[in-house]
Amino acid sequence: MNIAVFASGSGSNFDVIARQAQEGILDVKVKLLVCDKEHAPVQQKAQALGVPVFRFVPSNYEHKEDFEKDILHVLHEADVELLVLAGYMRLIGPTLLQAYEGKILNIHPSLLPAFPGKDAIEQALQANVKVTGVTIHLVDEGMDTGPIIEQEALRIEEGEDASAVQKKIQQMEHRLYPQVIQQIVKGEI
């Protein structure tokens, strides 16, 4: 299955997915990285793995619809069937949602619906919860909403700070996201 990963940041999830795809562990081909941030480190990771990058500058467009039409064009050219959001910090608009209905995944570092949006780990620590985790869900028009596919919980130990929790969350994400993608490819989800 041909997939595109959408990312705006460091790209650790992109890296794991693209490597596993190249090693044949995952039955997908990462055809494209879509990136909306000029200096996002994920772009170097894509270059290192030979994955083409479509980077766009949102402020160069008047409307979301305009850049999503450009994205759609490259997705179609690459025969992309599934969109995998991995730290793409932007709401998906109707253009992409209609073209890829039920075929857009997102990962989020909390047990949704708790702590959507940015800085989910910091939000959880601020709220003094004892348990947080990771959610993988289908994307709809909302911010980190849409039907939940998979969740895993993580206990926050006494005295742990954001970076300690983030490390554990990242390990969980790197295990869970490829697993769910593979289950989708196999038709098990």
The annotated binding site is made up of 11-13, 64, 89-92, 106
Candidate list 9, 55, 64, 149; residue touching ligand GAR; CB under 6 A: 9
| Strand ordering across the sheet containing 29-35 | 53-55, 29-35, 2-6, 82-85, 104-108, 131-138, 148-155
Q: Which is nearer to ligand GAR, 31 or 137 (CB)?
A: 137
Report the site for ligand GAR in 124-153 (rule: CB under 6 A).
Answer: 144
Most distant CA pair in the chain, distance: 50
Per residue in 133-162, is it b (16+ CB within 10 Å) or e — as a string? bbbbbbbbeeebbbeebbeeebebeeeeee
- Residue 120 binds ligand GAR (CB under 6 A): yes
Of 30-38, 70-78, 101-109, 125-133, the segment contacting ligand GAR by CB under 6 A is: 101-109
The CA distance from 92 to 88, in Å, is 9
Q: Of all residues in this chain, which one has the CB nearest to ligand GAR in the complex?
A: 87
To the query of whether residue 108 is one of the catalytic residues in this protein, the response is yes
In a 3-state reduction of DSSP, which class is residue 84? Answer: strand
Candidate list 108, 112, 132, 176; residue touching ligand GAR; CB under 6 A: 108
Active site residue ranges: 108
Which residues contact ligand GAR by CB under 6 A?
7, 9-14, 86-87, 107-109, 120, 144, 173
